[in-house]
Amino acid sequence: MVAACVLGPNRRASLAALDDSKRLTAKERERLFPLIRRYALAYHIVYIPAAEVDRRGVHAANIEGMRRAVAGLSVRPGYVLSDGFRVPGLPMPSLPVVGGDAAAACIAAASVLAKVSRDRLMVKLEEEYPGYGFAEHKGYNTAAHNAALARLGPCAEHRRSFINVRRLVSVDGELVPADALDLEPEQQSRTG
């Protein structure tokens, strides 16, 4: 998930609790989410599908997501601040701000919108693909997530470029855990 957010100068007091989304609790982010949507002059949230991330690579997909998020704004900003990375191809001046979600309210607001949207998507994915623990790990690499991948193989929402998915092998076009195959030990070591 990537988001863009335009905040007016008079709305900072309404969003005083805004901070880097990684420093906020899930409860704080959920409380801020509707406030940001209410007080933002404009916002746009973009989802980049796993297949596109695989095709472009993580960094390029994030940059493209930032471009799409800015393009989707109902208000055209005169200037764009981005979180840490330069975003080429924007039709207006921009500045990458390292640690931007801790330094600029608009970046922090976009970060909260993206994180809450992603967390909510993970809860829905848990309903669609039970057993992976999406609602708990929220897409992050955890031991439980890796165990589910080994047990179930990847679902349609897993990035095939993710190293723990790449460690699985293809059989007739389907990815399955290498340890589920009846291979000789020498063959197993060559597939992993």
CB 57 within 8 Å of CB 23? no
CB 87 within 8 Å of CB 63? yes
3-state secondary structure of 188: helix
The domains of the chain, with CATH numbers, are: 2-127 (3.30.420.10), 131-191 (no CATH)
Closest by Cα among 2, 22, 142 to 73:
2
Average of pLDDT values for 59-67?
A: 95
Closest by Cα among 32, 91, 42 to 67:
91
The Cα 69–Cα 44 span in angstroms is 5
Q: Please tell me the predicted confidence (pLDDT) of residue 175.
A: 58
Percent of all residues in the chain with a pLDDT value above 90, rounded to a whole number: 60
149 has pLDDT over 70? yes
Average of pLDDT values for 72-76?
A: 95
CA-based diameter of the chain, in Å? 67
pTM value is: 0.83
Read off the pLDDT of residues 76-133 as tens digits, 9 standing for 90 and up: 999 999 999 999 999 999 999 999 999 999 999 999 999 999 999 999 999 999 999 9
Average of pLDDT values for 7-22?
A: 81
Q: Please tell me the predicted confidence (pLDDT) of residue 163.
A: 76
144 or 177: which leads in pLDDT = 144
pLDDT category at 39 given cuts 50, 70, 90 is very high
**H helical segments located in 20-131:** 26-39, 50-56, 58-71, 100-103, 105-128
Closest by Cα among 119, 120, 101 to 18:
101
DSSP 8-state class, residue 189 = H
48 has pLDDT over 80? yes
Q: Please tell me the predicted confidence (pLDDT) of residue 192.
A: 40
Q: Please tell me the predicted confidence (pLDDT) of residue 1.
A: 79
Q: What is the rounded average pLDDT for all residues in the chain?
A: 86
CB 44 within 8 Å of CB 73? yes
Closest by Cα among 133, 134, 138, 98 to 115:
138
Average of pLDDT values for 130-159?
A: 90
